Structure 1
Amino acid sequence: MDITTAIDGTRARIHARGEIDSHTLVPLRAAAAALPPQVTDLQWDLTGAPFMDVAGLHLLFNPAMHDPELRVTVTGLGRQPLWLMRTAAETNPDVFNLSRLLPCAPSARTQPAAS
């Protein structure tokens, strides 16, 4: 996992490259925890993360990220991570609220590509 953090005033962007799983969850959480207190807008850029298991849901829907002072969004979702997030949201929309992370989420369910 390669993690790059860019901070511009109150905005931060964390770019993750590699698979998001239980082994990469700890360094990803550490990157978010290391942000300075003035950051009020965090964007997870997952352009380079083609696969995400349930650990990605734990990362993105972490109650600590629900701070009303911190706006968290996700960009660059591939088919499989988007499918996982949408499936979780369909299963439990109260816990996995996509409108917070993906304000422009597509309305049709996206399926991962067949192998």
Structure 2
Amino acid sequence: MSAFTLHSTTTTAGVTVLSPRGDLDFDALPDVERALMELPSAPGAVELDMAGVPFMDLAGLRLLHRLAQEEARLGRRVTARGWRRQPRKLLRLAGTLAPSGGDRTADPVARAVRALTEDR
């Protein structure tokens, strides 16, 4: 288990870069929620740099889901990069699951995973 931190910076182009470091798990949720509340309310790109996250559980999926909601609500572009092995494996698993009898395209977590897991 590694201590979690979340840094937020804004580039000269106006892109907000969220850089989590450490395990993105239940204990990290307060920091994640705080960072999401501090995002600018105006539309603008958000980049999630996951290179410093060796482990992720449902808290990471929650972060992706919330960012996907922000993208839809504000029309902001959200991208993610730097996925390490275990988080990528979790995302693949989450992206293949659908509610019983449901369509994967209707599942918000599956949509968030597809939208945010491409390295750009």
Give RMSD over aligned pairs: 2.0
The letter for the 1-side match of 2:117 is: L
For 1:13 and 1:49, the matched residues in 2 are separated by 15
1:45-60 mapped onto 2 (5 Å cutoff) = 45-60=49-64
The letter for the 2-side match of 1:4 is: H
Q: Which has the higher strand share?
A: 1
Structure 2: runs of 5+ lacking an equivalent: 99-103
TM-score by length of 2: 0.76
Identity of aligned residues (%): 28
| Matched residue, 1:108 | none
Per-residue Cα deviation, 1:17-67 (whole angstroms, up to 9, x for no partner): 010111102211211220222351111111110000011111101263232
TM-score by length of 1: 0.79
| Matched residue, 1:85 | 91
Q: 1:69: how far off?
A: 1.1
For 1:101 and 1:2, the matched residues in 2 are separated by 21
For 2:76 and 2:53, the matched residues in 1 are separated by 23
Quick check: 1:44–1:72 contact (8 Å CA) kept in 2?
yes
For 2:29 and 2:10, the matched residues in 1 are separated by 21
The letter for the 2-side match of 1:81 is: P
Q: Across the two proteins, how many residue pairs are aligned to each other?
A: 105
Is structure 2 residue 20 aligned with structure 1 residue 16? Answer: yes
Structure 1: runs of 5+ lacking an equivalent: 106-115
| Matched residue, 2:101 | none
Question: Does the C-alpha gap of structure 1 residues 104 and 46 become closer, same or farther in structure 2, counting only changes over 3 Å?
Answer: closer
Q: 1:104: how far off?
A: 4.8
For 1:40 and 1:99, the matched residues in 2 are separated by 20
> 2:75 pairs with 69, 73, 82, which one?
69
Question: Does the C-alpha gap of structure 1 residues 99 and 73 become closer, same or farther in structure 2, counting only changes over 3 Å?
Answer: same
| Matched residue, 1:6 | 9
Runs of 4+ with >6 A deviation = none
Q: 1:83: how far off?
A: 0.7
Per-residue Cα deviation, 1:75-101 (whole angstroms, up to 9, x for no partner): 111011011011111112322123311
For 1:44 and 1:103, the matched residues in 2 are separated by 11
